[in-house]
Every structure is written in structure tokens, then in C-alpha cells.
Structure 1
Amino acid sequence: MKLAIASAIAAALLFSAPAVQARAPAAAATEQVHLDKRRIDAALAQMLSSGRAVGVSALVWQDGREAYYGQQGLADREAKRPWSRDTLAQIFSMTKPVTGVALMQLWEQGKFRLDDPLAQYLPEFANMRVQDGVDAEGKPKWRAATRPITIRDVMRHTAGFSYGFGQTAADEEFRKINPLALTNNLTEFGQKLATVPLLAEPGTQWHYSSAVDVQGLLVEKLSGQALTDYVAQHIFTPLKMRESGWHQPMERLPRLAIAYQKGADGQLTRVPDAQLHAMNFPGSRMTMGGAGIVAPIDDYMRFARMLLNGGELDGARILKPATVRLMATDHLDPAITERDWLPGKVDGGFGFDFAVRTRQPSSPNMNRGAVGEFFWDGMASTLFWIDPANKLAVVFFVQALPFDGTLHTDIRKAVYGAAYLGPPGD
């Protein structure tokens, strides 16, 4: 499930008070993956002919070189503008790993410990509440959370924060207070989110949430820079991601792909331009940690290649290899059985801002991939994944709403083949 277009998205994490034993599957040797370019081309074409997308592109990097690029369809159907390699796309929640990398750079500098209480750096989160039943009139009763939220919780979506998706009393409070309103900045977001009760005790459940926006706020607090400035200086510039960013200059607007929303009749209709541009062009005060970046596909592949290379690309060291492995390790305690919709994405768990594959695909309808893979996606159905076992990185761009997981199933089958299982897991 995903958020409404002008609000937000999020990425995720879970539990840790006493340390959880993290499970990091090795990048085991696997059956050779031979890319079939015609198969990928056919899959992209079928996405259009089936009416699921207006325009798509896919970029595959394998064994140190570009192994495939393909595009199909239109970036703007009404203007008959073709999708091209320099088309800009809203990546929504694929922003989250970028924010996570920024925060883990600060961790490498000793700015915080993963099990530090969040309130040590953001005091507004010191007295969080959870629901404790209802009173005689059916109104929610609140009590103090039994332990503090840790930064590790914030990084694995186990803090208990809401995103406003559900129908609980905490979700209703989130929607009423609207911390992610585009009129708020990140500081105001944090002050408002801290007044929203938690969905669950910290560390006990996995809920996709506004936790990565809290990560963005932590980056600002710990670095003394605005999130946009920090990421530009420490990630985008050294990686030569020259056109990636939250608030794009208006001259790039003609290259932005239009988002299309599927209606009850199954037809894709254009998202209104004013709604489409509200988060990404001048005028918004909000810079979400969990959404908002616009990028061309080659820029985002440079970010993906950095992760595939263990934190370095073309001489620019962004993270240490051990830090990338830490982020790409499943940190969810087996006792955390409430995982929302995460099991529908992957046979595995969650690390720091990445889903992590720990087992082979368990059924024919599960997404193809190799154990040790880590990935995330975006509300408009974008996707990227890193497959260390096959020395492979893939970026898939589309602008289709609501989130359509069938597109991901199909692009993975096209890359790997429908029967691919990869190495055994744990």
C-alpha cells in the first residue's frame, strides 16, 4: 500500500533494545544469470499494451558494465512526448535509501549510536504514547510507551510511527495533525509527529511509516545542514548525480514524466499538473526524508552502483563496505510477526531502509531474485534492486498510480527468467 500523492511515503525498520542478532546472508555463488534483451523488451512493451503503464524504462548493470537499457511509450501522453533516457521521474520512496545513506555517513563519523534513544537528539520524542484500549464511550485510552524509541527502530520501521494509512486511532490522529503537510518544514514535522500516538510499542511490530522523514530530521540535527544541502554535498555531488534533488529548477519541468492514475474502470488518467509538481518544484517548504527526489534513470543507477560496489564509485567513497552490509542485513527479530504488507514483496525481512531477501522465492507468483539482494521501490511503481550474488543492479522507472506490484513481478521475470530461484537462503 502507498500514500496519497501530495503527502508522503516511507521506508522502514524494526526492533532492537537489547541487540538483535542480524542475519546477513552471504552473496553465494548462483546459477548464471544470462540477460535476454528481447525478453526484457517484450516485458516493457507488454506493460504498455496491457494498459498498466504509459511509459517505462529499465537499466541493468552487470559485471562492471551496462548490460541493458530499454524504454517504451510516452513520458507525456497528452503532449505525445516520448519517454527518453533523460526523462525525469518522481521516485517517491526510493528517496528513502538516499536519506538512510546520509544518516549512516553520520553514524560512521560517531555522531550517534544505533541504540541511542531518539529523544537524546530530538527531545520532542521523549514521551510517546500508545493506545491502551477504549473507555466506556469508545474513545481511545492512551498510556506511556514502555521503552524509548531507538534510532535503530527509526531505521527499520519498528518505532511505531504512523503514516496515516490505517483506521486506528493513532492513524486518525496522524491524518488530523498532518505532520507531512507541504507547508511544514522538517523541524515542524518532527514537533507535530511527536504529538501523534504510536501504533504499537517500539520494537514490537513492523509498520511502514514516516520514520524516514525522522531520519531526514536527524541528518539536519546532527550535521547542522539542511537535508537537501547535506545530500547534495555528500552524496549527489561526489557520485556525479547531477540532476537529482528534491526541489527541481523550473527549466527541467518539460522533462518530467507525467504520473497516471488508474481509475475504477481500469483506465489510466493524468494526475493534475498542480498536484504532480507540488512536492518537487519551488514553493514547498517540506523536504521529506522519505520521498520527493526527482532523478533521471542514469543518476539513480550511479547511486545503485555505489551500493553494489560496497559504498564506492569511480573513486568517491560514500560509505564503508561494512556499513553497506549492515544496511543490507535483515534486522527484524523473528518475534516480530506483524510485518504489515512486507511479506508480499519479498521472502525475507528488512534492514536499514532496504527490504532484504533471505530465502529463495517460495512460490511462482513471488518476485524473482537472489538471496542477499536488497531493494526498495516507490509509490508510482518505480523499483531498484542490488543483487551481489550476480554482480547486478537494476533500476526500473515508471509513473503508474496506485502502486502496481505486477510491474515489478514482470520486470524481475524478464531479467532473471520466470523459473529463477538463485542460491539457497537461511
Structure 2
Amino acid sequence: MHRTQLLVLMFALACLAAPPAGAAEPAPAAGGAADVARIDGERIDRVLSGYVASGKLPGVSALVYQDGREAYFGAFGQADREAGRPMARDTLVQIFSMTKPVTGVALMQLWEQGRFQLDDPVATHLPEFAAVRVYAGTDVHGKPLLETPARAPTIRDLMRHTAGLVEGNGAAGPLGELYRQADPENLDHTLAEEVRRIARVPLLYHPGRRWVYSPAVDVQARLVEVLSGQPFDAYLQEHVFDPLRMHDTRYTLRDADRARLAALYMRSDDGVMSRVADVEALKLNGRKRALTPGSWGLVSTLDDYMRFSRMLLEGGELDGARILQPATIRLMASDALPASIGLTERSWLPGKGQVGFGIDFAVRTASPRTANEPSGEVGEFFWDGAANTLFWVDPVNRITAVLFAQWLPPGTMPLHKAFRDAVYHDDTSAAAPR
């Protein structure tokens, strides 16, 4: 390991071993360590099956491990409602943004090797970012005004979503229009071309001043390519998926995968689930394409993503395969948005609860304050996907959990809260689904 990285890891581990001077002992989360003696499978069954029985969902499945052992598995309803194919343990789903933590792990492997420093300017490794400017409104003719950033965006900024990048294709205003004109997310682009186009769009804000979810993780994936000399998907296969025996996680579907792939549905405002036409849904994962984005795009199974989650819980190693060092996992799972950095806005992140953000994970920093917040434990780290998938890692209770469903848009039903509350024995949302 590079000497600088070793020193940083030792320092991070020492800092994280104890709370700051004068800090109070954190209060137990709703359903925290004192409450979780065992996983109540019947309770989780009732909650998940209730969503299907009520007609709210075509299908849902979940897998929970505790103390390194399987504590719960359940699958209910249909993976493909129209074909009558049931949700199963080996069902393949599109995990969308649950791709992001996988990308973060890949890039941090290269950090451990001394290939870069977290506070390196992005332009040190991707020169197309050397001339970035910040959007400062428009002139009297409606043309964008640009200014020099107060500091250069860094790799750390990319990994905690503070780099200044525009939100993506859905961004509003003049910058959103410029982004769509640049068309970086076209599936026919390579990662290199996508990132070149992203770099041509002005920054939305000065780096480090706001948290805004963006295609920054695609830039991370390109960094993996540049630093490793391998295509991103090939790097993941060799250094993450093969060592962890994640045999069903990939970007491009094989012919045999079609019979296991869950259909994708769109939920209307009145709760009706309509199937997304296969020709549209499979643009995401149905053909060999040039773009392998770090932000989204992988398909996986419950067991595959559980192996990834268990590796994180076990400090970067699973079944003899060392993926990262324990202190690196601790660093990734530590809040990188402390008050001291002076963020002025966190966008929708507070909607996830009492959380900060680490390296490609949300990090729970305090217990739920109201009954409306999902149960969880201080110190857990997690993320979800656009089709309402979810995973979390709870080091205190030694729990890892993966939840799969396949509907858009995200967050339009309290499934995540109900599942979490069922795992943590919290009665606040275990009633009939809404």
C-alpha cells in the first residue's frame, strides 16, 4: 500500500475508534441494538406479502443476514405479471443507483494502491475538467454568465456529490438545457465520451458548497478506466464480481437471462401499475452498448448483492476474498458532510432521515426523530435504486439487508420504511400498506 494511503488509513481508524471529546453516547435507534434479538421472519412476511395481496405491487423479494447467517428470505407476487412468472430468489432486477456503491468500491481499491489522492483535482487525471467554469446566472440577453470556480472540483467531491455537476437529464433551467444539448448519457457513447461531454457543461455551483446528486459516479467510473487501464466493466468483473463470486451481476444481459429478468412497471398517481414496454425497459440492459455508467446500469440478484453487502459488513473481505481494507470501509461509511465544511444546501438528502453522506453511501448519523422516519441504527450505511430497490449495512446489529422491487418512480410508496420497521420490530408502519 502507498505510504500516504497507509498513514491516512491509520489516522482515519484512530479518529473513528472513539467519539469526539464531549460527545454524548448516541441514543438507540427505533428498533436498535436493544430490540433486535432475532429477525422475525413472520413479521416481515406479513408486511411484504401485504403489499402484493393489496394489489399495491406486482412482486417483491428480500434477503436479510445477521451475524453472517441468513436470517430471512421471502419472495411474493410476480416478477413478470403479464407472463405469470413468480418473483424468485434468482430473479434478476435492474438495480439502478445501487450500482453506485459498487463503483465507489472499485475506485477505492485504486486509492489503496496509491493511484490517486482523494483531494486530487479531477483535472489531474481527467484533463477535460481543467477549464470548468461555474454558472452565475444569465446576462440581459439570456446567455449564461460564467465564473472561475473558487477551487477545483476534487475526487472527494465526486464521491460525496459536492463537485458542482448538474443533476443530469432531468435538471431544470438553462444548465439543464445545456446538459441535454450535450447529450452525455446517450447509450451509444463510451464512458470517455460521456465524461468529455459532462466536462463541457458549466458547474451548477462552486465545488464543496452544496450537495447535489449528479452523474458524478459516471466520472468515477471513467477514473477507474484511466487509473487501471481497463474498461470499467472488465475491471469490475476481475476485481469485484469474480472475487466475490457475484456470478449474476453485469451490465449486459445474456440470452439466458431474459427468462429471469423482472419486468419494469410505472406507477401512476392513482397507484395503477403499468408495465413499461419491453423495448423501452431493455434499452437499459437489453443489448451490448458502449456506455457502462458508474451511476446505474447493473442487473443483479438478491444473493449476489448480499455478497457485496456482507463484504462491506465484514470490513472488505468475504470468504477469503479481500476487496478493501477495513479502514477504507470505515472511511467510506463515515459522514463526509460535517457542518465544518459549510454546505449551504443538501437538496433532498434530508428526506432519507438523519443522515450524512460518505463515499457513495448515505450514512445514518442520528436516530430517527419522528415516527415518520424509517427505522435504523446510527452508523449504518445504505443506498437505494430508482426502481425501489434498497440495501443497508448495519454494523451495530450485524445486519445486512437487500430489498428488490421493480417500479418507477422511486419513493412513491412507503415500502422501504415498512420493510425497515419490520426488520427492526418497530410497529409504526407495519400495518396494512397505503
TM-score, normalised by the number of residues in structure 2: 0.89
The answer as to 2:391 corresponding to 1:384 is yes
The runs of at least 4 aligned residues of structure 1 exceeding 6 Å deviation read 22-29
Q: How does 1:94-113 map to 2 (within 5 A)?
A: 94-113=98-117
Distance 1:247 1:159, change over 3 A: same
Cα deviations by residue, 1:91-139 (Å, 9 ceiling, x for unpaired): 0000000000000000000000000010000000111111222211333
Partner of 1:121: 125
Q: How does 1:12-411 map to 2 (within 5 A)?
A: 30-33=33-36, 34-162=38-166, 163-334=168-339, 335-404=342-411, 406-411=414-419
Cα deviations by residue, 1:211-262 (Å, 9 ceiling, x for unpaired): 0000000000000000111000001001000111111212211110001101
Conserved 8 A contact 2:35-2:425: no
The one-letter code matched in structure 2 to 1:363 is: T
Greater helix share, structure number = 2
Offset of residue 90 of structure 1: 0.4
Conserved 8 A contact 2:138-2:144: yes
Conserved 8 A contact 1:71-1:83: yes
Conserved 8 A contact 2:35-2:424: no
- Secondary structure, aligned partner of 1:124: helix
Could you tell me which runs of 5 or more consecutive residues in structure 1 were left unpaired when the two chains were aligned.
1-18, 421-426
The one of 399, 412, 416 aligned to 2:420: 412
Q: 1-side partners of 2:108 and 2:123: how far apart?
A: 18
The one-letter code matched in structure 2 to 1:350 is: F
Distance 1:237 1:25, change over 3 A: farther
Cα deviations by residue, 1:17-52 (Å, 9 ceiling, x for unpaired): xx9xx9788798831413211110011012223443
The one-letter code matched in structure 1 to 2:410 is: F
Give the paired residue count: 401
Offset of residue 333 of structure 1: 3.1
- Secondary structure, aligned partner of 1:349: strand
- Secondary structure, aligned partner of 2:100: helix
- Secondary structure, aligned partner of 1:67: strand
Partner of 1:16: none
Offset of residue 397 of structure 1: 0.5
- Secondary structure, aligned partner of 2:328: helix
Distance 1:112 1:146, change over 3 A: same
For the aligned residue pairs, the C-alpha RMSD in angstroms reads 1.9
Conserved 8 A contact 1:128-1:194: yes
Q: 1-side partners of 2:345 and 2:273: how far apart?
A: 33
The one-letter code matched in structure 2 to 1:295 is: S
